[in-house]
Amino acid sequence: MLLALVSPVFAGLLVNEVVYDPSGTDDGLEWIELCNNGADTVDLTGYAFHNAGSSYGDIYTFASGSLAPGEYLLVGGTSATHPGSFSPNIQNGGTETDGLRLVDASGTVVDTVLYDESNAVLAEDDGTIPTTGAPAATNGKSIGRFPDCADTNVSESDFVLYDTPSALAANVDPNDGGEDTGVVVSVDCAGADGVVINELMPNPSGSDSGGEWIEVRNNGATAVTLDGWLLQWDTSSFDSAANWTFPAATTLEPGAYVVVGAGGLAASLSFGNAGSSADAVRIACDGAAVDTVIYGTTNTDAFADDTGIVALSLAPKPTEGDSLQRMPDGLDTDVCGVDFISGAATPGAENTTGPVGDADCTGSEDVVVNELVYSTDVEWVELYNAGAGPVLLDGWVLEFGTSSYTKDAELPAGTTLGPGEWLVIGSAGALTKDIELDLDMGNASDTDALRLTCNTLPVDTVLYGDPNENAWTDDSGAVATSLAPDHGTGESIGRISDGFDTDQCGVDFAVQSVPTPGGANPVIEPEVCETDGATSLKLNEFIYDPDGTDGGNEWVELYNAGSVELRLDGYTIQTAGTDWGEDFRFPGGVSLAPGEFMLVGGEDVDGADFVAPDLSIDNASSGAGGLRVVDCEANVLDTVLYGDDIEDPISGDAGSNEVVPKVSSSVSLGRFPDGEDSNAAADWIPYSDPTPGTPNADPAAVGDDTGTGGPGGGCNDKENGPPAPGEGGCNTVLPLGGLEVGIAALLLLRRRRS
């Protein structure tokens, strides 16, 4: 750690060394060492130690005692004069900076020590709030001032890490005496941005002991001095990480490698094998991470990658005898799942062999899965070459599965895909195909996956269906939240234009009502996520129990109650019985002007702006049903609960559990006035004469306030039929071009479709 360019202060009592996380239990073993660098003896009566996570509390008060100039005093642990436990124990650091301070008998702060990272609330003695403090000291290590008993009011600079604490003795230079602290007084971090962990052997064949190693590469253009840089590894967090320090005169030339461990610089390494959760290795310089590798299947311990966030994309779990290696050599996107593969080890040399396989992967960045149909006996997959030259697909493999990639089909020798061309791989029942292979893809009951690989390296991945309960990762290396839609009978899912690829399946793919195997996909405008003014989008009317069969006859009407046009790309309509599920997603280029309506319905709904084959609104036959609209950033904009009392864990806007009473068949629920929203059940009115896509009538004017259409309502009398046209001010029906339109609704009709 570099000392700050501030002169040390010698002004009396200081916290000089601390063990806050002893090996084993903390209780009774923690200790604090005080030093006196002043000219006078200090009476300690009434002095106290405080500790803090986010705020300070008293943990120890001196009943008596004193400290003469140049002397040390031990408090806690095995101290002869001030033994015992701190109550409560000293904070152990962790995800945030913790603090320890000494105050005098009047409560004035005498000295403060901040340790670990990251900080936003605790101040140093000079009033500044640093982002980091002294290094983390776990498993019996200590943090101590060096130079001994010196203070610059910058904990990060004043304290270093000691593997061997030195109670009641001066703190020594951590570079002397074989002290493997992981922090040195002077470290040169120049060129750190070009240094990467290039290859890692956490699980060698046979016994791991003595066989583990790590390869470091300099991707930069200048030589880098690694003297004092730290190698760290752990299975739960870097707070208790094991350390190894690069020795003096370790220099790494541009493009060169250095191996630490078996076959390289002598080091006792003990990497985790990612048995139950992810493990991690990193290089650090002057307390800052230079490069991090997180590997395994699930990041249960929330290791952060080099972007500073909890990693969702992980390098593979190591298989015995294979290394984890960047492919191509030196690749560093800070996304471990993208950068690393498992393959044949090449310590001290370029990673060129990769996994087993001899297929030519040239041009793989230009090939995508362009369209597909997943249906028993007629499945097919269309590939497209968006590049400028031909690509040889010999030995490339299609992999697919419903919870993991358990099945595959290899492309035969001689398979070539020219620039701008399509290649259709089909099952025996597919009518259009260039190559016949045995395909067996999932039918999207949950999210299922298909990917094209070359030498086991992913070339392109498609994840389709919802929700992603099996945590499939997309081509960004992260667990996918953007998923391609599920297609219906006779449909396909295809890219919104040939080769369009953002690595976000929900953006890239749309349902094609007319499949185009071996030909161009229809061009659809890409989605643009806009949320400004989105809260003005309201559910305005819907029917969940239409006459006859529900399938194909249900509909939802949206209304823009605001003053600006809304872009609805990627917005979804979701329904719930027990859990929320996505029923319809708006494609790109959809907008809704102020005061206008948008009708989304099944195949048999006349005049629907968008046909939603999967729309299935719960009938609230048991408990309550739910309907909501969600924006492209997953914010819930408007919700209605209807039916009987809540029995399932769904809630409305602002956490409301108000339920709109259940209505009978063919009756809709609508807002009046249009867009009226107080987050209450009273917003919703039953309409026995629904008005999909047009303004909702005033129930007082038409006498339709029950939704039953009984004699008291004056409209649609179930026993006597409708009154004569115009009678009673009702929303009566007249034949008009094959449609039945009420007089009141006709007068109110002011609709423009987007």
**What pLDDT score was predicted for residue 733?**
27
Average pLDDT for residues 23-46, to the nearest whole number?
A: 86
Average pLDDT for residues 627-645, to the nearest whole number?
A: 91
DSSP string, 49-97: EEEESSSEEEEEE-SS-EE-TT-EEEEEBT-SSS-B--SSPPP--SSS-
Query: In whole angstroms, what is the distance from residue 226 CA to residue 447 CA?
Result: 46
Find residue 49's DSSP bridge partners: 60, 102
pLDDT at 328 over 90: no
Question: Which segment, 185-189, 248-252, 598-602, is predicted with the most confidence on average?
Answer: 598-602
Q: Is the dihedral of CA 313, 319, 321, 322 positive or negative?
A: negative
pLDDT at 358 over 80: no
**What pLDDT score was predicted for residue 459?**
93
**What pLDDT score was predicted for residue 147?**
86
**What pLDDT score was predicted for residue 311?**
85
pLDDT at 448 over 60: yes
Average pLDDT for residues 242-249, to the nearest whole number?
A: 79
Integer CA distances (angstroms), 684 to 395, 599, 710, 731, 741, in order:
60, 18, 19, 18, 22
**What pLDDT score was predicted for residue 11?**
56
As given in the structure block, the two tokens for residue 181 are 């602290």
Report the amino acid identity of residue 747. Answer: L
As given in the structure block, the two tokens for residue 122 are 């605790």
Pick the CATH number of 13-162 from 1.20.58.100, 3.90.1570.10, 2.60.40.1260, 3.40.50.300: 2.60.40.1260
pLDDT: which is higher, 629 or 624 = 629
Query: In whole angstroms, what is the distance from residue 2 CA to residue 150 CA?
Result: 15
pLDDT at 709 over 80: no
Q: Beta strand 13-19 with 66-67: parallel, antiparallel or unpaired?
A: unpaired
Report the amino acid identity of residue 679. Answer: N
Question: Given its phi and psi angles, is residue 274 left (phi above 0), alpha (psi -120 to 50 degrees) or beta?
Answer: left
**What pLDDT score was predicted for residue 742?**
31
Of the candidates 341, 346, 390, 343, which has an alpha carbon nearest to the alpha carbon of residue 364?
390
**What pLDDT score was predicted for residue 327?**
83
Q: Is the dihedral of CA 325, 326, 327, 330 positive or negative?
A: negative
Question: Which segment, 173-177, 524-528, 549-553, is predicted with the most confidence on average?
Answer: 549-553
Query: In whole angstroms, what is the distance from residue 326 CA to residue 328 CA?
Result: 6
**What pLDDT score was predicted for residue 648?**
56
**What pLDDT score was predicted for residue 445?**
86
pLDDT at 166 over 90: no
592, 566 contact by CB (below 8 A): yes
H or E element, residue 156:
helix 155-158
Pick the CATH number of 192-343 from 2.60.40.1260, 2.130.10.10, 2.70.170.10, 2.30.30.230: 2.60.40.1260
Of the candidates 573, 560, 556, 558, which has an alpha carbon nearest to the alpha carbon of residue 534?
560
Give the percent of the chain with pLDDT over 70. Answer: 88
As given in the structure block, the two tokens for residue 541 are 């009317």
**What pLDDT score was predicted for residue 325?**
93
Average pLDDT for residues 82-103, to the nearest whole number?
A: 85
Q: Beta strand 660-661 with 636-643: parallel, antiparallel or unpaired?
A: parallel
Backbone φ and ψ of 61, nearest 5°:
-125, 135
CATH architecture of 366-512: Sandwich (2.60)
Task: Compute the radius of gyration of the chain from its Cα atoms.
Answer: 34
As given in the structure block, the two tokens for residue 84 are 């015992």
Query: In whole angstroms, what is the distance from residue 77 CA to residue 30 CA?
Result: 5
Between 37-46, 88-97, 741-750, the lowest mean confidence (pLDDT) is in: 741-750
Query: In whole angstroms, what is the distance from residue 71 CA to residue 69 CA?
Result: 6
Query: In whole angstroms, what is the distance from residue 510 CA to residue 166 CA?
Result: 67
**What pLDDT score was predicted for residue 240?**
53
Average pLDDT for residues 720-746, to the nearest whole number?
A: 31
356, 389 contact by CB (below 8 A): no
H or E element, residue 495:
strand 492-495
**What pLDDT score was predicted for residue 754?**
30
Average pLDDT for residues 141-162, to the nearest whole number?
A: 89
How many residues are there in the chain?
754
Query: In whole angstroms, what is the distance from residue 398 CA to residue 456 CA?
Result: 10
**What pLDDT score was predicted for residue 734?**
25
**What pLDDT score was predicted for residue 623?**
82
Between 10-24, 279-293, 358-372, the lowest mean confidence (pLDDT) is in: 10-24
Question: Which segment, 28-37, 110-119, 265-274, 510-519, is predicted with the most confidence on average?
Answer: 510-519
pLDDT at 364 over 60: yes
Question: Which segment, 53-57, 239-243, 724-728, is predicted with the most confidence on average?
Answer: 53-57
Contacts of 691 (CB under 8 A, 6+ apart): 541, 668, 670, 697, 731, 742, 745, 748
**What pLDDT score was predicted for residue 668?**
96
Query: In whole angstroms, what is the distance from residue 668 CA to residue 540 CA?
Result: 10
pLDDT: which is higher, 14 or 750 = 14
Residue spans in the chain of domains classed CATH 2.60.40.1260: 13-162, 192-343, 366-512, 534-699
**What pLDDT score was predicted for residue 644?**
80
pTM of the model: 0.46
**HSE-up of residue 329 (Cα within 13 Å, Cβ side):** 17
**What pLDDT score was predicted for residue 25?**
76
The CB density around residue 270, as the number of other CB atoms within 10 Å, is 11
**Is domain 534-699 classified as CATH 2.60.40.1260?**
yes
**What pLDDT score was predicted for residue 329?**
87
As given in the structure block, the two tokens for residue 657 are 């559990």
Find residue 398's DSSP bridge partners: 409, 452
End-to-end alpha-carbon separation of the chain, Å? 62
Average pLDDT for residues 527-534, to the nearest whole number?
A: 90
**What pLDDT score was predicted for residue 317?**
87
pLDDT at 353 over 90: no
How confident is the prediction for the chain on average, in pLDDT? 84
**What pLDDT score was predicted for residue 355?**
52
pLDDT tens string 420-439: 999 999 999 999 999 999 99
pLDDT tens string 547-579: 888 889 999 999 999 999 999 998 999 999 888
pLDDT at 215 over 90: yes
